[in-house]
Every structure is written in C-alpha cells, then in structure tokens.
Amino acid sequence: MNESSAQIERPLEPKKRAIIVGASAGIGAALLRVLVEDGYHAAAIARRQEALQELCTEINTRAARSQTGAGRAYPYPHDVSNSGEVPGLFQQIVHDLGGLDLIIYNAGVMPPVALNEYSFEKDASMVQVNLLGGIAWLNQAAERFERTGQGHIVGISSVAGDRGRIISPVYNSSKAGFTTYLEALRNRLTRHGVNVTTIKPGQVETAMLAHVKKRLWVITPEAAAADMLKAIKSKKQTVYVPRRWGPFMLIIRHIPSFIFRRLSI
Amino acid sequence: MIDELTQTINIDQEKISLNWERGPMAMPTERLEELVAWGRASRTVGYVFRPSTVDDLRAVFGLAEASGRTVTFRAGGNSYGDAGANGENIILSVTRMNRILEWYPQTGRITVEPGVTLQQLWEYILGDGWWIPIATGTMKTTVGGCAAMNTHGKNGWQAGTFGDHVESFELLLPSGELITCDRQQNRDIFHAAIGGFGMLGCFTRLTMQMKRVYSGLIQVETYVTRNLAETMSYFEAHVAEYDYFVGWLDAMVRGRAVGRADIHKARHLAPGEDPMPAQTLRLENQRLPANVMGIIPNSLIWRFQRPFWNDFGMYFVNMAKYWAARWHNHNSYRQPHALFHFLLDYFDWDKPFGPGGLIQYQPFIPVANAEAAFGEIFRHCHKRGLPNYLSVLKRHRPDPFLISYGVDGYSMAMDFRITARNRPRVVQMTRELDEIVLKYGGRFYLAKDSTLRPAIAAAYLGDETIARFTALKQRLDPDCLLESNLWRRLFKDGGSG
C-alpha cells in the first residue's frame, strides 16, 4: 500500500479523499471505480480480503494507465459487524489518506427470508450490517466533519425503507431506520457546513437480488453508481436511483394501510 | 509509560487506550481542529496540543511516538502556506509558552519563550526605549515562529533577518534532550534551526538583542515614482540613507507605467530630536486607530473593500492609491512605530479577497537582475490574466543561515487572489514564474510559499545544502518525528515527492 502519495498535500491542489464501506462487490465496487476515476483517493472497506485486494489492484492498474488525474483505491479489510474496531480503523484510514472529504456507507445484507420465517439470527445480522454498522462508521465521520466544518456523508439506504412489506420485515425496518438516522444527521450537520445525502436505490443487479423473484426496473451496478456520483457531486439531499422510483414510491407511501395490508407486494 | 503521558497532557485515558491492542494508539478526537493558513487559501485538519511547559512538550513527543504520528510546531499561524500544517498528525502549538523570562533594559537583551508574540515583546520593552529589531507586517507573529521561518522586515538590507538578532536559544530535540545553541556552541544547529521551519526541534527559550530607540515616533517620508525602472533606481540610490525602505507598486496598470510606486522611507530619530520621548514611548500613544475617519470601525472595512477586490476593481484601487500618493508626494511626517510597521493589523487584509483567500508569491532577486525579473514577472501575470493585486518591494542582503532566502537584492511580495475556479491556473502560472525567478538567480521564502516543487527548491538551495540539512535532521531527529506538510511537499525522501 502506497499511502505517501496520498499524504503529500500541496496547499493549492487539495486532493479528494473518500471512504467507501462495503466496497468489494456490487454497487460499492462500481462506486469505488467511478470515484477513483473522478480523482478520489478512496479507502475501500469490505469483509472479503482477497476480493477487495483484487478489485483495488485492478482499479489502480486501470487508473495508472488512464493518467487523467485519477485517484487510487486502498483496501482495508474489516467486518462491519465488528463495530468496536471502527474508531481506531477510521482514524488509521484518515491518517493514511491524509484527510477525508466524503464517506459512503454502502454495506448491506438481505438474506432470503421465507414468508412465514421469523429467524432472529438472520434479522439481527441485517440490523447489524445495514443499520448499526452505518451508525458506527458515520458517527465517526459526523463528529469529525462537525468539528472541521466540511465534509459529505452519503448513506446508501433503499426504497425498501419506505414501507414495511410482507416479504422482508427487518430489511425494511433496518433501511427505514438508516434513512431516519441520515435525516437526523442532516438536520444536525447542515448548520455546520456538512452535506448528508440519502440515496435510495431500487433494484440493482447484484448478488443481493439473486433470490428475489419480483423484479422491477432492474439496473446494473454501473448505471446505479453513475447516477449516485451525479447526486453526490450536486450535493443532493435525498435521491431515488433511478429517478422514476421517486414518484412511484410517493404513491406507494400513500397507499392507506387498510389497502396495503391486503396486497401481496 | 502511557499512564504518565496521558496524565501530564491531561487527556482522558480511556479515549486513548481504546485501540491500544490493535497497534498504533488512537488519538483523542476532542483534539481535532481545522487549521487555516494565513490568507485562507488552504486548510488542514490535525490534532492540536497546547502545552505550557517543556515537560508537557516532551509528553506530546511521547504521544507522537506511541501513536505513530508526526509532529510539527505552530505558533502565530501566520505562514501563508503549509509551514504550520501537519495534516492528520500532531500540531504542537507553542502559543501558551508565552512568558518573558529575562529583560535587561540597560543592554536591551531579552530572553523569552517561543510563543511570545511580537506585540507582547514591543509593548513590554518600548517604555524602556527599545524596539524590536525586525518587525513583520503583523505583530501577531511569535518569536519562535519568526526564528523558525527567519522572517524579515522593511530594513533587511541593513538589519538582516530575524535570526541575525537571535543570540542563543535552547532547542528541545524529539529525544527529549535540551541543547543550547549559539554562534559558538552547536554552531551548525544554530544556523540550521533558524530558518529550519521547525524540522530540527522546538525552541524553548530564545535570547535576543533589541534595538535602541530615542523616541516612540519614526520619521517617515514619501516619494512617488512613475515606472519600474525609476522605482528600482530610486531604491538603489537612496536606500542607504534610511533605516526602513518599502515600495508599494502598481502592478495592475499595463504598459510603461507598470511598477510605478508609492515609496515610504523612514528613519529612527536621533537622541534629542524628540523633545519628549517619555511621552511618545507610552503605549497609549502607539495604539492603532480603531476607526476610519472616526466613524467606520476597522473590523468592518473589509466589507467596503470587498466589492473592489477583483481584477477590474483593483485596477482602480491601485490607480487611486498612486494618484493619492502623488498628491502627497515628498510628504514628511512622524508616526508611532506600531502604526508604521504593522499595517496588516489595521484591517482584516485577507477578508476582501473573498472565500478563496489569497496566496503570496515572493521571489528574491539579485540587484543586477531585479528590474528585468520583476518586469518579466509583471508582464507574465498580465499575459496569464492573473495580475497581482498588491506588490511590495523591499531591499535585502544575504543571510548566513542554512535554509537561506536572502540575496543582495530585492524581493517583491505579490498578493494573488484565489478562487475555486482560478486555482489550477494560479498553480500553473506560479510554475512558470518559478522558472523566471531561477533564470535570474532568485530565491524563495518558505513562510510565504504555497506552490514550490521539490525540483525548484533543490535548484535554488542547491543539493548540497539540502543534503546537509537532511543529515543534520537525521542526527537530531533520527525517527523522523518532526514533519510538516511543507517538509513532505519539498524535502522528504530527498525531495522526490
């Protein structure tokens, strides 16, 4: 790992630095790719060390070849359910990068849950990864950004957080919790000059979608990442990816309960 | 060991030991602060500690070692660039080590801690008939900072630099050892630590010689020149007759008039010239004005300047300044020392430049080439569409220190406005200016630098000088505990960044 290149700072040529949590595959990997292409020095965090290392090497080789002000990806293996490790690791990464401008929490799991299944083990893992991990990482960033009066926090939540549905009660509630947490962060931090963006993707063609039968407007991770980067750059507050989920979820959110509970969506 | 450390620097131990098992120890997040360069063109984040004693300084070194982070020193924070920055590492602010330790009014010799500001210094000694030998444009700089950056004033050709008036100092090495350096003892360290931008150790006490004055007033005369050639020849002809000499040049105007200047010359009064020195030396008679025209508070002036601080407006501001100066040409008046020296403290000079702030670019050029170099620099700035808003010309002499910027010649301090849009263009232009400066045998001053590259630093300092400095640093700081953004940018790894 060559951190020194990230640490040399020229006063008038500030580098852009990012952390992506949950970066080894799917949306995270695609986001890492577009951020590095956009010039970010990005720390990629994921559980699977080999996959992560391989991805970073591939991205860096390509970035080195393109030579157009591309950044660099730095792998940091970490399991987000191990939240006690976060404060030390966060400091270490920010030190290695030489600063921090952007943090994206993208880690999420959605194990297949049968309609009549109430497995606490599966449910706890979703809360742990989708919500508690996010709180552990973004709290670190929030404290730092509030103190220094700059920075951008991005949470990849989901359209699934907008309603509780029969097929995934805890996935819905973990994402709803994350969305509300991000909203609260935004309300706390906007006055300190910090941006908080909530991104709610619809269905994206990743491993998570493999066991999902009902499909609607599925897009590739690359298309999702491109939309997300645009939203991040324009410092949006809440965005649906792709955008058509916005009006759609507006309707879904307003279906009255006496109807919604009789539907099978 | 960690227990002792945390107790002495008064940190909640739980926060530190949080991550001790994982390797490097976590830093207390409550110490995180954003640090802004003077001029606000750049900012960094670091862990700031403000010890008040030498033992606490040592404790911070210990913390740095335990946490695997580097340390740089910061005092007044008045460097334009990154000399006082150490991103994501430890910033050791010496502002609270600000005691005046010894003062001998008979001889003018004073011993102070590094965080003593020039304001504290002159306010303390003036009543005894002494003044600071080298005054920076603001009195918020500190003795430690001025020694580390080896600052200069408007009297450089005759009084040299700040370091020329330091007689001895104690330096705390990262190992915790305190050494005394002067022109006999540890001669090499003395000449390298002054101007060594804090990379060899921390000054803990400095002894200096002050300058005798016989009045609280200074005799100022003005003169206006019509172009660069006249400015330079007037300087060269008359500089020796005065104690201070400074020219404000108009670099916004194009063509033959570029470099026309409002020159201020000043001399100290001889004994007897001031009939009542006891009165003029009183602090009450040295206060900077609080209002402009008696009504507008100085803290609001920048709001009036702000609309003019752009390429279009500054053309007229410089022109107005020139014609006003011509109106008062050959003016002669007496002015309190503080009012003559500390122009930067009248108003907030950086605020009119807007949110992006400003940088200063100050090359030092030998006499023979000065006129050609400055003319070429002004023309180049106009060509690139980035004229400098304020240019200040001063005369200098070579200095005896290792990281030296002094030349027998002139320096031109130029203010460039920085915006999010023009930043890459300014960077590109300064690289071109660097080449012009090198072509004319010029040098650079690290306290004002934001843009130099390792190759340029090596070219003006010489590889041998850099090798000597790094060898000395290796000896005094073998674990490389002392680093700053400036060091990493220009000199680390032999400058191969």
Please name which of B261, B265, B389 lies closest in space to residue B325, comparing C-alpha atoms: B261
CA distances from B75 to B42, B47, B79, B98, B403 (A): 17, 14, 10, 10, 20
pLDDT recorded at residue B183: 97
Note the CATH number of domain B217-451.
3.30.70.2520
DSSP B78-141: --SSSTT--TTSEEEE-TT---EEEEETTTTEEEE-TT-BHHHHHHHHGGGTEE-SS--SSTT-
Contact of B27 with chain A, judged by CB distance below 8 Å, is answered with yes
Please name which of A101, A53, A44 lies closest in space to residue A73, comparing C-alpha atoms: A44
- As averages over each run of 10 residues, the pLDDT of chain A (265 residues) reads 66 94 95 96 95 95 82 95 93 94 97 94 96 97 96 97 94 98 98 97 91 90 97 97 96 95 87
| Residues on chain A bordering chain B, Cβ-to-Cβ distance under 8 angstroms | 4, 7-14, 85, 87-89, 91-92, 94-95, 97-99, 143-144, 147-150
Tens-digit pLDDT profile for residues B172-221: 999 999 999 999 999 999 999 999 999 999 999 999 999 999 999 999 99
Contact of B88 with chain A, judged by CB distance below 8 Å, is answered with yes
Chain A residue at shortest CA distance from B17: A88
Cβ of B87 within 8 Å of Cβ of A8? The answer is no
- Calculated CA dihedral for residues B69, B74, B80, B86, nearest 10 degrees: 10
* Alpha-carbon gap, residue B153 to B164, rounded angstroms: 12
**pLDDT value at B379 more than 90:** yes
Helices of type H across B390-453: 423-439
Closest Cα in chain B, distance from residue A111 (Å): 31
Where are the domains positioned within chain A? Answer: 13-260
**pLDDT value at B8 more than 50:** no
3-class DSSP state of B350? coil
DSSP A183-241: HHHHHHHGGGT-EEEEEEE--BSSGGGTT-----S-B-HHHHHHHHHHHHHTT-SEEEE
Contact of B394 with chain A, judged by CB distance below 8 Å, is answered with no
Please name which of A41, A140, A33, A141 lies closest in space to residue A98, comparing C-alpha atoms: A41
- The residue-averaged pLDDT of B142-161 equals 98
Which residues of chain A lie closer than 8 angstroms to B426, CB-CB?
A: 12
Class at the top of the CATH hierarchy for domain B100-212 = alpha beta
Please name which of B10, B81, B89 lies closest in space to residue B52, comparing C-alpha atoms: B10
pLDDT recorded at residue B431: 97
- How would you class B158 by CB atoms within 10 Å of its CB: exposed for 0-12, middle for 13-18, buried for 19 or more? middle
**pLDDT value at B2 more than 70:** no
* Domain A13-260 listed as CATH 3.40.50.720: yes
Closest Cα in chain B, distance from residue A72 (Å): 16
Chain A residue at shortest CA distance from B426: A12
- Find the CB nearest B488 among A8, A85, A150: A8
Class at the top of the CATH hierarchy for domain B2-96 = alpha beta
Q: What's the ipTM?
A: 0.90
**pLDDT value at B407 more than 80:** yes
- Calculated CA dihedral for residues B352, B353, B354, B358, nearest 10 degrees: -140
pLDDT recorded at residue A67: 66
Residue found by looking up tokens 């005799």 in the block: B219
* Alpha-carbon gap, residue B436 to B376, rounded angstroms: 8
Contact of B450 with chain A, judged by CB distance below 8 Å, is answered with yes
Cβ of B489 within 8 Å of Cβ of A143? The answer is no
Tens-digit pLDDT profile for residues B107-119: 999 999 999 999 9
pLDDT recorded at residue A202: 95
pLDDT recorded at residue B16: 41
pLDDT recorded at residue B496: 44
- B18 pLDDT tier (thresholds 50, 70, 90): very low
**pLDDT value at B436 more than 50:** yes
Query: How many CB atoms within 10 Å of residue B270?
Result: 10
pLDDT recorded at residue B494: 57
* Alpha-carbon gap, residue B114 to B97, rounded angstroms: 6
Suggest the residue from A7, A12, A90 to mutate for an interface test with chain B (most B CBs closer than 10 A): A12
Q: How far apart are the first and last CA of chain B?
A: 35
Contact of B496 with chain A, judged by CB distance below 8 Å, is answered with no
Tens-digit pLDDT profile for residues B54-101: 999 999 999 999 999 999 999 999 999 999 999 999 999 999 999 999
Cβ of B82 within 8 Å of Cβ of A91? The answer is no
Residue found by looking up tokens 């004229």 in the block: B387
Cβ of B88 within 8 Å of Cβ of A98? The answer is yes
Closest Cα in chain A, distance from residue B88 (Å): 5
Where are the domains positioned within chain B? Answer: 2-96, 100-212, 217-451, 463-497
Tens-digit pLDDT profile for residues B155-181: 999 999 999 999 999 999 999 999 999
Give me the total of CB pairs closer than 8 Å, taking one residue from chain A and one from chain B.
83
Which residues of chain A lie closer than 8 angstroms to B419, CB-CB?
A: none
Which residues of chain A lie closer than 8 angstroms to B87, CB-CB?
A: 7, 9, 98-99
Of B104-113, B139-148, B221-230, B345-354, the least confident: B345-354
